[in-house]
Chains A and B, each alone.
Chain A
Amino acid sequence: MSATLRVNPIACTGHGMCAELLPEVVELDRWGYPVLVSPAIPRSLLAHARRAAQACPTLALLIEEKAGKHR
């Protein structure tokens, strides 16, 4: 199963929790907003990615799994 990360830029307020919980994939730009190093999530980081998506205060971090569902 492959998964990709996506940010809802309208919901995102630059809180920065995603970069703390998934630093391998998410970096913060100079204004505090997430930059995805690559949208693909390696399988080893999937659990961390899910946690980051759950932790996002505005639910702006989305994981799209290959099965076609949004989490």
Chain B
Amino acid sequence: MSLDFHGPGLWYATRATGLVAMLLLTVSVLFGIITAGRFGREDWPRFLSQGLHRNTSLLVLAFLALHVGTTVVDTYTSIPLAAAFVPFASAYKTAWLGLGAVALDLLLALVATSLARKRLGYQAWRRVHWLAYACWPVAVAHGLGAGTDRSAAWVVVLSTACVLAVLGTAAWRVIAAVRLGLDR
């Protein structure tokens, strides 16, 4: 008896975990910017933003594991596991899935270097961590391009909200840094 995985269940799982991963990645990026921007208050210490940034990143990995797993196992489309890590290794929606692989590779680099931060040293870690600003938009693009729900209104709203949140927070960070530079 052959195991035949197909049918809407896996497909829903792929889409759902993908969306949640994008949401969590956005949240992680937001907390990362907030940490770098040194935001801190009586009731919101800085280590909280930093801790949340770290934990949501790890959660993203968990959801991505499910997202990749359900995609590969689904026999409706024959996407090899390699396509999750090697860009353009899939025949199905080659370019858009390729972006997903790029985003995943970048994320793995970010997490691995962060876990090995002490051994790497601050300067090396920091240079790699700038790639976060590449990882997130590539992931969002993958979601919009490869995702099959982009016509759904709520998905559009969600994606737009994520983009606006990151752009807005990044703008706040840049403005605050410029002001600090002018003061000193």
Contacts and interface: CB of A to CB of B under 8 A. Distances in A.
Interface size on A, as a range, is: 10 to 19
Main secondary structure of the interface of B (DSSP, over half): helix
Contacts of B46: 15-17, 20
B118 interface: yes
Interface residues of B, number: 13
A41 B46 CA distance: 22
B47 interface: yes
Contacts, number: 27
A59 to B, nearest CB: 5
Nearest to B125: A59
B117 interface: yes
Interface of A: 11, 15-17, 20-21, 54-55, 57-59, 71
Given A55-B47, A59-B122, 15 more contacts: A11-B122, A15-B38, A16-B40, A17-B47, A20-B40, A20-B45, A20-B46, A20-B47, A55-B50, A55-B51, A57-B35, A57-B36, A57-B50, A59-B121, A71-B118
